[in-house]
Chains A and B, each alone.
Chain A
Amino acid sequence: MNIIPAIVAEVGAFLIAGLVFYGLRKRYGWTVASFFLLGSVAWTTPLETLGISTGSYSYSTFVGTLFPGYPGYFVWIGIVPLWIEMGWFIVSASSFMIFHEVLLSRSKTIAAAVFAGLFAVDLDLMIDPIASSNRLWVWIGPSMSLMGIPLYNYVGWFLMIFLYDIIVWNTIIAFKQIRVLSTIERKLLRIKESAQTVSLAQRTRGFLFRMLVFEIFAIFLIKIASVVL
């Protein structure tokens, strides 16, 4: 079995993620860059873990191929190879930058998030068939598909990038109220609606809370998509 594409993809993803982190640090500073990177890992790991544990796909093609006991990839978080999260980080950060910072005005928050989601889907239309045919990951189970990739996967890509974009813009870049969550955040996290400057601790709590709420919402919608499609 050809393991070379898998090694190249894993090492390449870490190198590019390092480059993107460096660019984020130059633009926004250490705090925002770190939030963006660690947030990407925290945002995608639960969904990936759920996908693997429910048997939607597998990353175990190359287990034991490089040397005895080789786990299939070099670095893992639980049952998810870390380079997968790095891939999400690269796509979310670059699509965020393209639409929020360059191509659209800063006031068009939702439009920028929608375009970021579509940009990510476009990239994945290339990534997933290449990865799947080289068995970097393997889709399992019947589903409506395009080039062998289930259609609900693309729904998932759009939702995850779209929602993470909104969270980052309204929490990390500048803390803004998200209307549907503002009442709970005022009571639970003690973040006042009028607060222009929130402490790092409040921002961290808000970031984690918003990721938790939006993650549950995204998983619910992706589950519906996987049943319908």
Chain B
Amino acid sequence: MTASKQVETPEEKTESKVIGIRIVVAGALASIALWIFVLFLGSPITPFSSPNPSFAYAFVVCAPAFLLSVLAIYKAKSPSKK
């Protein structure tokens, strides 16, 4: 039995690069989600209350970064097509 080596086509390589871009940008969204969760864990509505900025403050302040990240994930395409 012979093992066949899989070779990526140029289209597959391009697709892989686009997925890479989207994953990195998703890191910003994941970071926002993480800090909102930390805010929740430290807020008076959980058993672990401590003084915190309000959820409204956090959502409003991070809105530009959130929207730009979502836009970038949506618009990400092959660098050669830019």
Residues B28 and A91 in contact, CB atoms below 8 Å apart: yes
Taking a contact as CB atoms under 8 Å apart, the answer to whether B38 and A9 are in contact is yes
Report if A26-B25 is in contact (Cβ < 8 Å); known contacts: A2-B42, A5-B38, A5-B42. Answer: no
Interface size on B, residues (CB 8 A): 42
B20/A25 in contact, CB under 8 A: yes
How many angstroms between the C-alpha atoms of A123 and B50 in the bound complex? 22
Q: A24-B24, A27-B21 are in contact. Are A123 and B57 (CB under 8 A)?
A: no
> For the complex, would chain B's binding face be called helix, strand, loop or mixed by DSSP majority?
helix
Q: A5-B42, A98-B72, A125-B61 are in contact. Are A26 and B27 (CB under 8 A)?
A: no
With contacts A119-B68, A130-B39, A130-B53 taken as known, whether A105 is within 8 angstroms of B82 at the C-beta atoms is yes
Question: Across the interface, do A12 and B82 meet the contact criterion of CB distance under 8 Å?
Answer: no
Using a CB-CB cutoff of 8 Å, which residues 17-47 of chain B contact chain A? 17, 19-28, 30-32, 34-35, 37-39, 41-42
Check: B10 CB closer than 8 A to any chain A CB: no
Q: Flag if B27 contacts A93 (CB, 8 Å).
A: yes
Q: A26 contacts which of B23, B41, B42 (Cβ < 8 Å)?
A: B23
With A22-B23, A134-B38 as contacts: A101 and B76 at CB distance below 8 Å: yes
Which chain B residues lie closer than 8 Å to A123 at the CB level?
A: 28, 31-32, 62, 65
Please report the number of residue pairs spanning A and B whose Cβ atoms sit closer than 8 angstroms. Answer: 146
A102 at the interface (CB under 8 A from B): yes
Complex CA distance for A13 and B75, rounded to whole angstroms: 26
Contact partner, A5, options B25, B48, B75, Cβ 8 Å = B48
- Set A5, A87, A125, A131: member contacting B31, Cβ < 8 A: A87
A156 to chain B, nearest CB (A): 18
Task: Report the contact-size class of chain A (Cβ under 8 Å from the partner).
Answer: 35 or more
In this complex, which of A22, A27, A90, A135 has the most chain B Cβ atoms within 10 angstroms of its Cβ? A27
Q: Report whether B28 and A122 are in contact in the complex, using a CB–CB cutoff of 8 Å.
A: no
Can you list 25 A-B contacts (CB < 8 A)? Answer: A2-B42, A2-B50, A5-B48, A16-B34, A19-B30, A20-B27, A22-B23, A23-B25, A23-B26, A26-B16, A26-B17, A27-B20, A90-B27, A90-B30, A94-B24, A94-B25, A94-B28, A94-B31, A97-B24, A101-B21, A105-B82, A106-B79, A119-B64, A126-B35, A131-B38
